[in-house]
Amino acid sequence: MLTLCTARPPPPPPSSPLCFARSLKRYSSTQLKLTKRKYPNSKRRLFVNPTITISSLSCSPPRTEEAQAAERLEQLVSEFRSLPEPIDRVKRLLHYATLLNPFDDSARIPANSVSGCTAQVWLEVKIDEFEKVRFLADSDSEITKGFCSCLIWLLDGASPEEVLNVRTEDLRDLNVGLNGRAQSRSRVNPWHNVLVSMQKKTKDLILDKQAFQFQSFLCM
């Protein structure tokens, strides 16, 4: 182990001993860990690959996908809770409705229809090459489109496990249409019905993929 001084402290001014003491503290020796390597046909010892010895490093663990989804849900809940008036929350849903990606007319088929909603809702679900679930949705009701848009913002690009772990109860904290009136109860349905449909279609895609992999294994 060699101890090398990085630099010599500057000479002190003749009339300033205090400045000399302060400047001396600024300079410290640096320990270099040097690896000795002997080469057979040489009498010289070479020192290669000097590395600075680091006592410890600390870093935050990476966030899991579940943690990221939970953060998104908290953001969504916080956003709607900040709107005390029901009309303001409905307006926010209408704003989310404008954020939906276009839905192809060719996908408006019975297989993509979501049952149980007052309005007509279409939902298309795919799993991409990165094993993430992708959603597209549309409705003939602007408010229902807002519900769909919130759910897609929450779960689009999530893993199948993430999608299946979300509960309807987690969405009730958004406090949209939960004051018990008949009209409000009809507006609660999209949260449950669209989420259940998203999860069912995700399960079906997983089962189809597993069946395909099993058939491919049998044919090997």
- What residues act catalytically? 117
- Distance between CA 59 and CA 167 in Å, rounded? 32
Q: What is the pLDDT of residue 104?
A: 96
Q: What is the pLDDT of residue 67?
A: 62
Q: What is the pLDDT of residue 170?
A: 87
Q: What is the pLDDT of residue 203?
A: 96
Q: What is the pLDDT of residue 179?
A: 46
- Which ranges of the chain would DSSP assign to H, the alpha helix? 17-26, 65-81, 86-97, 142-155, 160-165, 168-171, 182-218
**Domain extents in the chain:** 7-52, 65-213
Q: What is the pLDDT of residue 101?
A: 96
Q: What is the pLDDT of residue 52?
A: 38
Which CATH class for the 65-213 domain? alpha beta
Q: What is the pLDDT of residue 217?
A: 66
Q: What is the pLDDT of residue 58?
A: 38
Name residues whose C-beta falls within 8 Å of residue 165's C-beta, 6 or more positions apart in sequence.
66, 69
3-state secondary structure of 127: strand
Q: What is the pLDDT of residue 11?
A: 52
- Contact between 205 and 134 (Cβ < 8 Å): no
Q: What is the pLDDT of residue 65?
A: 54
> Per-10-residue mean pLDDT for the chain, 220 residues long?
48 47 44 45 47 38 59 91 92 96 96 92 96 96 95 94 90 67 52 94 93 71
